[in-house]
Amino acid sequence: MQEVAEQLEAAIARAGAGPTTGSTRYRALVEAMDEAVCVFERLPLRPDGLRDYRYITMNPAMQAMFGIPDLSGQSIRDNFPDEVEDWYDDYDRVLETGEAIRFERGSIPQGMVLEMFVARIEDGSGRSLMAVIRDITWRRIDDNTLREREARQELLLRFSDRLRTLAAGPDVMRAACALLGEALGVDRVNYAEVEGEDFIIAHEHHREGLASMAGRYPASGPKTAERAALEAGRTVVIADVDAEPGLRPDQREVFRAWGVRAFVSVPLVKEERLVAVLSVIRSRAAPWRLHEVELVGEVAERTWAAVARVRSEKALRESEEKFRSLFETMTQGYCECELVRDESGGVIDCRLLEMNPAFERLTGLSAAQARGRAVTEVLHRAKPWWVKEFAEMVSDRRPRTIEREVPEQGRWYEIRAYHRDGDRFAALFSDTTERKRIDAALQASETRLRALVNATSEVVYRMSPDWQVMWELDGRGFVKDTHEATSDWLFAYIPAEDQPEVTAAIRQAIETKGVFQLEHRVKRPDGTLGWMFSRAIPLLDEAGEIVEWFGAASDVTPRRQAVEALAHTQRLKAVGRLAGAIAHDFNNLLTVIIANIELSEMRERAEEKTQFLDKALKAAQLGERLNQRLLTWAGQAPMQPKEVILNDLVTETGAILDRSIGERFTLSLDLAPDLWPCFIDPANVDSMVLNLVVNARDAMPDGGEIRLSTANVPAAEVPVQPGAAAAPGDHVCLCISDDGFGMSEEVRRRAFEAFFSTKEQGTGVGLGLFSVKTVVQQSGGFLEFDSAPGRGTTFRLYFPRTSGARDVTPLTEADTRQPPAPLTHPLILVVEDQKAVRDATRERLQSLGYSVVEAADAEEALGILRWQRDIRVVFSDVVMPGEMSGRDLAKRVLHDFPGVEVLLTAGYIAETSPKGVDDPTANVPVLIKPYRLHDLAAALRSLLAAHHTGTGG
């Protein structure tokens, strides 16, 4: 270059003119040169105080090198404002010293490395310079590339050495971020993990003063080209996010907010899924050099590999630790063995190679004693039964389970062996000696139990923990056997009406884990129903949970039948005793009736006749009450509650009982005046008083006083007992007390149980107090009692007071003597087998104005109906001789003779009930004997009126 400059300077000197002269010869010389040449001169300081130079001339070679037009006459600083001041320093030094200089420097505006020779032109101005320029960028690039590559390799080696010392994934990632941040001088390095569509920056290295970007960045909007490239495994290089067309505006806003202007992102893709991204970031826009991108990629690759290695090593360590922990702590014995072969290759023994502590504990052999030795060396007297088993297992490569006894140790072992490789195999074994002993004991116990079950007559069964499945049942002929599990046992063995009671008892037993105990009905193989007393206990496991139920049941049908027969006998005896007293009263009543009728016949005045007839009628009404009471005691009358005054009922019942309980007993009454009414069946009052008085009598074998009293109890004074179902408000109290021997605590606790009795066998069935409590509760009341040994017993029965709205006033004499008149004079057919009753009925109907025809039975009545077509009503007794009853006759009449009404009469309530819900006579009215003339007239009038209006049956 210097030679070129000297040649140019000599040429200028020969031309005899300076560069400012613009000689044609000079310009031709400069333009003809191959080297880039320019001549320029210093200008005065600019107004802004900066130095500046101006091109005098530049040859085409310079224009081509820089890709610029001819700038002759133009300011250098105006055309290259970004050039560094070092250039101007060098120009000024050459002008001031006159010494030419040669230097190499990069030109920022041109992006080139230049070699320049600058010399002063001695034209007398002291301001002119000449420069010869060469582009040496290629040479500098090659040198830089080599140096950069060597530095990168050294950096990567140091990084690899560093990674080998790291044992945790996070440490690897932090080291990678720090390395790239320091090597590239960037503002940020981020390591982000990918979850779904979200990026999570987990590790980061950033320049001091910048905020951390760590956190989750959810994906938003459509997928960008950048994201698609990363998912495809391609590195993303962006020099300016503002100029990048593949980014959305919202992404650019996020990048600007974090000061991200340029970045390189290298992805990690596993199994076609993006899992992580390593990114380097600059806060200014600038192109990325190739060696920088390559460095990021190589660091990322080493990072991914190191993370995978660390994770694999960690998994291996954890696996080894788990195996070692399992090996050391497992309760099963473990040993590794190999087959021992003879010279011909036949298997003759097994050698113990490795064993765990459980092996030592179970066999009593130490590892030091057994390791490396053949089994026959350790167990000298053992027969090598294992040789054949293990040789076959190794040969066919199939696991094998063996359970054998080792007599030398007196132990049983279960061995699970499986092949490893070659002649080596592993064996897991457990000591099953205790299980064998338990199995043997259990088998012996089951044998004894089965013998016991076979020897007993009890029904034996087994149930699942929740009773949903019956596992087994030996019915002993009483119920059907089942030896297979069944889930429909409840419907197969228990009647539908008894199932709620059985399931309730089962539910309580399961909840309490207690004994199931119940007496209930069962279906027998022949289709009949029997009674059994069943009792089952739960079998519990170690945790206290039910595993099954074991039960036994006995046939109590004969006992139940005997109890029912005895109860029936006792009831008959009671009826018999009371019937004597009632017969006495009936005789008295009949005496009164006969006497008054006779006296009425002896009187001539109508008033006197009426007086005696009224007395006879009242005596007959009392007889009706006595008859109803007898039916109640015999169980033939259902409840017919009505509003009553207890004083009246107690007085009447007491009068009868006073004559029947015996001469040693006194029955005293203390009845409250103005007693409130209550709603109850009068017959049940008689029954309750009877039961309690008889109990009081039996409690005083030497005689004594039995006290009956009544009282009004205001609401505020009604006693409240736990569980008592007392209605709120006022109550009426009936009290029965005695001075007998009283009850013990056990007797008091069971006093109201059905069939519980303290009386001698044959004298009571234990239903008295049970029936009293039942009647009281059905009437809406409750009861309480006090009793103690030697202090007697007091029962208090409480019944809710009624409002008094019900009519308790008896019919007046006028009502009795003036029955309703018939609507017309229809014809009535009377069907009654007893002539006396039939005659009386005929006369009563005729007295009411009805026409009457008679029949002695149903067949005769049907014959009359066939030819007597004007009969309006058939009035028949329910109970009659022959094949047809009164209700059967009613069915025929309703079916064969439309328009004929039917009225029935019966001796007691039980006779009035139809045989089923589909019985066509269900709506036929029934008069209960004895009935008043007024009742008969009203029933006929109502029946005929309903028929007349079209609403009759």
Q: What's the confidence (pLDDT) of residue 22?
A: 47
Residues 6+ apart with CB under 8 A from 140: 104, 106, 113
Q: Residue 20: is its pLDDT beyond 60? A: no
Chain Cα centroid distance, residue 776: 43
889-892: long-range contacts at Cβ-Cβ below 8 A with a sequence spacing of 24 or more?
889/831, 889/858, 889/861, 889/862, 890/921, 890/924, 891/919, 891/920, 891/921, 892/858, 892/862
Ramachandran bin of 418, using left for φ above 0, alpha for ψ from -120 to 50, beta for the remaining angles: beta
Tokens coding 272: 């076609």
The answer on pLDDT for 13 being more than 70 is no
Nearest Cα residue to 57 out of 130, 134, 133, 135: 130
* DSSP codes joined into one string, 106-161: EETTTTEEEEEEEEE--SSSS-EEEEEEEE-HHHHHHHHHHHHHHHHHHHHHHHHH
Give, to the nearest 10 degrees, the angle between helix 858-867 and helix 886-896: 20
* Cβ atoms 301, 158 nearer than 8 A: no
pLDDT score of 211: 87
Grade residue 940 by pLDDT with cuts at 50, 70 and 90: very high
Which CA distances in Å does 465 have to 462, 486, 505, 536, 542? 10, 14, 14, 12, 15
State the amino acid at position 468 in one-letter form.
Q
Question: What does the pLDDT read at residue 726?
Answer: 52
Query: How confident is the model over 41-47, as a mean pLDDT?
Result: 93
Using left for φ > 0, alpha for ψ between -120 and 50, and beta otherwise, residue 893 falls in alpha
Buried b (16+ CB within 10 A) or exposed e, 305-324: ebbebbeeeeeeeeeeeeee
- Give the tokens for residue 396: 């066919």
Q: CA geometry: angle at 775 spanning 770 and 778, to 5°?
A: 125
C-alpha to C-alpha distance for 142 and 123, rounded to whole angstroms: 41
Nearest Cα to Cα of residue 189 among 266, 123, 256 = 266
**Separation of alpha carbons 121 and 127, rounded Å:** 8
Least confident of 256-260, 316-320, 417-421, 936-940: 316-320
Pairing verdict, β 793-800 and 347-355: unpaired
| pLDDT tens digit sequence for 637-683 | 556 678 899 999 898 888 767 766 777 888 999 999 999 999 888 87
Answering whether pTM is above 0.75, one says no
Maximum average pLDDT range among 105-119, 440-454, 823-837? 823-837
> What letter would DSSP give residue 20?
G
Asked if 691 contacts 655 with a C-beta cutoff of 8 angstroms, the reply is no
What is the pLDDT, as a whole number, of residue 830? 95
* pLDDT (0 to 100) of residue 537: 92
Tell which residue, 654, 680, 629, has the closest CA to residue 797. 680
Among candidate residues 837, 818, 808, the one with its CA nearest the CA of residue 929: 837
Tokens at 466, concatenated:
């929740």
CB 639 within 8 A of CB 684: yes
pLDDT at 859 exceeding the cut of 90:
yes
Q: Which residue has the higher pLDDT, 148 or 250?
A: 250
Mean pLDDT to the nearest integer, 546-565: 85
DSSP 574-600: HHHHHHHHHHHHHHHHHHHHHHHHHHH
- Which residues, 6 or more positions from 828, have their beta carbon under 8 angstroms from its beta carbon? 845, 850, 851, 852, 853, 871, 872, 873, 874, 875, 940
Measured CA distances, 93 to 38, 182, 433, 667 (Å): 18, 38, 107, 154
Minimal CA–CA distance to 546: which of 462, 645, 430? 462
Most confident of 411-415, 687-691, 800-804, 938-942: 938-942
The pLDDT of residue 852? 94
The whole-chain average pLDDT of the chain stands at: 81
What percent of the chain stands above pLDDT 70?
A: 81
76-90, 181-195, 274-288, 308-322: least confident range: 308-322
Q: Does residue 221 carry a pLDDT above 60?
A: yes
Residue-wise pLDDT for 803-841, tens only, equals 754 444 343 444 444 455 554 578 999 999 988 889 989
Per-residue pLDDT averaged across 788-798, rounded? 91
The amino acid present at 403, given as its one-letter code, is E
Identify the helix (H) or strand (E) that includes residue 777. Answer: helix 768-778
CB contact at 8 A, 635 and 575? no
Higher per-residue confidence, 774 vs 446 = 774
d(CA 375, CA 385): 11
The answer, yes or no, to whether residue 128 has pLDDT greater than 80, is yes
Contact status, residue 767 vs residue 754, Cβ threshold 8 Å: yes
pLDDT digits over 696-740, tens only? Answer: 888 898 889 999 999 999 988 988 765 554 567 899 999 999 999
Given a contact cutoff of 8 angstroms between Cβ atoms, the answer to whether 189 and 204 are in contact is yes
Q: Closest by alpha carbon to 737, among 683, 689, 803?
A: 689
Apex 848 CA angle, 847 and 850, nearest 5 = 100
CA distance 628 to 403: 83
Residue 689 clears pLDDT 70, i.e. is over it: yes
Six-digit token string for 694: 């008889």
Contact (Cβ atoms closer than 8 angstroms) between residue 581 and residue 660: yes
